């Protein structure tokens, strides 16, 4: 079967993954309103294409944090890639290395950060970090990834507690016995009691606050990017606290249900930041024209979560490569059909603000 668009990969994954695994990846919080709105919001945005602009040559390259990538789509941090494909994150890392884009490795990986680096030594990688009640645990992870050559820390800030994902509760979702959160191998052996997504419940620190950004800056020289900002107020605070980037994100609709679609939150954040730091977005990107819309609204780069997992489920490394390649090809085509020859020519004039 020829894979033509990202929906083809989604359908394949739904058919071939176990119900509990599919439900885990697909889950949104509560009624899944925000998860679904992430996709619907892109469909509400209309483009204003310019014509007769000589688009015979096009260039999709851009930079993130000063590093050139081949096109403005990276891989968002998603957990447990081995559930979708036996090689897991190692396959994801190789695919992103081949396509020369950014891979944000999840703390909750089923391969260790060392295995990921060994598999794709030349890949451009950031590391997604949670702050734990035991700060030493977070600190050790920071030093590990810094020594391994990860280029930035992505601090996820929208999980003081885990959102209520109904199907995970119904399925009593647990990692199968042959898989574990590899980065914490041996760390929690003593711990009895309930488990949540592969590590003991209540490991995450709900007291996390802006002062922890300063704490993080005191233990690392890596750029810090905050993931999970949805308001201009928090965007301003992020800039004031000296972080290097923001990922506008609602965690794929898996945390607070009833918040904005991430693409709807993007413009006010871009307007507030005014180019002082880079702004990225994730959630709901399924086509090249979605990528174009996000860039037109001021995102420097977008990140995809679930589609990468569908690619893995389809054919491992090759599947992730195909997903990225399709998005790259679609983005290049949408750019050309809108009259843009390179990413510098993409701006808000491309967006028709529909009167809703």
Is the Cα torsion angle 15, 19, 24, 28 positive or negative in sign?
Answer: positive
* Residue-level pLDDT at 190: 65
Q: Which residues are annotated as a binding site?
A: 24, 77-79, 106, 128, 130, 156, 165, 227, 249, 251, 254, 282-286, 305-306
* Residue-level pLDDT at 32: 98
Reading the block at residue 289, the tokens are 């024209």
pTM attached to this predicted model? 0.97
* Residue-level pLDDT at 150: 98
* Residue-level pLDDT at 355: 54
Q: Which residues are annotated as a binding site for glyoxylate?
A: 24, 165, 251, 254
* Residue-level pLDDT at 193: 80
Q: Which residues are annotated as a binding site for FMN?
A: 77-79, 106, 128, 130, 156, 227, 249, 282-286, 305-306
Whether the CB-CB separation of 317 and 329 falls below 8 Å is answered with no
Report the C-alpha gap between 116 and 128 in whole angstroms: 14
Domain ranges for the chain, please list them.
6-353
Rg (CA), the chain: 19
Is the Cα torsion angle 151, 105, 99, 344 positive or negative in sign?
Answer: negative
Report the C-alpha gap between 105 and 154 in whole angstroms: 9
Distance of CA 97 to the CA centre of its chain: 16
* Residue-level pLDDT at 33: 98
The residue from 143, 178, 241, 251 that is catalytic is: 251
How is domain 6-353 classified at the architecture level of CATH? Alpha-Beta Barrel (3.20)
> How far from each other are the two terminal CA atoms of the chain, in whole angstroms?
39
Distance of CA 17 to the CA centre of its chain: 21
| Beta strand spans in the chain (E) | 46-47, 62-64, 67-69, 73-75, 102-105, 124-129, 153-156, 195-196, 199-200, 224-229, 245-248, 278-282, 301-304, 351-352
Q: Calculate the alpha carbon distances from 210 to 136, 174, 213, 240, 314 in Å.
A: 18, 32, 5, 10, 40
* Per-block mean pLDDT, blocks of 10 residues, the chain (356 long): 96 98 98 98 97 98 98 98 98 98 98 98 98 95 98 98 97 94 85 83 94 98 98 98 98 98 98 98 98 98 98 98 98 98 98 72
For residue 96, give every residue at least 6 positions away whose Cβ sits within 8 Å of its Cβ, in sequence order, or none.
74, 75, 102, 103, 120, 123, 124, 320, 324
| Residue 251 among the catalytic residues | yes
Distance of CA 350 to the CA centre of its chain: 25
């Amino acid at each position: 079967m020829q894979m033509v668009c990202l929906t083809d990969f989604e359908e394949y994954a739904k058919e071939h993954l176990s119900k509990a695994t599919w439900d885990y990846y697909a889950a949104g919080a509560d009624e899944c309103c925000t998860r679904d709105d992430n996709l619907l919001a892109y469909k509400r945005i209309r483009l204003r294409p310019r014509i007769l602009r000589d688009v015979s040559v096009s260039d999709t390259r851009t930079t993130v944090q000063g590093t050139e990538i081949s096109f403005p789509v990276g891989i968002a941090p998603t957990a447990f890639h081995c559930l979708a494909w036996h090689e897991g994150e190692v396959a994801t890392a190789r695919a992103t290395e081949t396509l020369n884009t950014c891979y944000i490795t999840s703390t909750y990986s089923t391969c260790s950060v060392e295995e990921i680096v060994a598999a794709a030594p030349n890949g451009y990688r950031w590391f997604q970090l949670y702050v734990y009640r035991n700060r030493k645990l977070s600190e050790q992870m920071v030093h590990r990834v810094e020594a391994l050559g990860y280029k930035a820390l992505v601090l996820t800030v929208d999980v003081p507690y885990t959102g209520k994902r109904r199907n995970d509760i119904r399925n009593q979702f647990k990692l199968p016995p042959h898989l574990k959160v590899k980065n914490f191998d041996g760390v929690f052996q003593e711990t009895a009691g309930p488990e949540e997504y592969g590590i003991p419940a209540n490991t995450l620190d709900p007291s996390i606050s802006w002062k922890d950004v300063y704490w993080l800056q005191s233990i690392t020289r890596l750029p810090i990017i905050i993931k999970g900002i949805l308001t201009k107020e928090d965007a301003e605070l992020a800039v004031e606290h000296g972080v290097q980037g923001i990922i506008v994100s609602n965690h794929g609709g898996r945390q607070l249900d009833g918040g904005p679609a991430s693409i709807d939150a993007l413009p006010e954040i871009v307007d507030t930041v005014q180019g002082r730091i880079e702004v990225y977005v994730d959630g709901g990107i399924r086509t090249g024209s979605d990528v174009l819309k996000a860039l037109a609204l001021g995102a420097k780069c977008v990140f995809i979560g679930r589609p990468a997992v569908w690619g893995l489920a389809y054919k491992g490394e090759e599947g992730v490569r195909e997903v990225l390649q399709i998005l790259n090809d679609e983005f290049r085509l949408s750019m050309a059909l809108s009259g843009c020859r390179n990413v510098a020519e993409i701006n808000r004039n491309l967006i028709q603000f529909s009167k809703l």
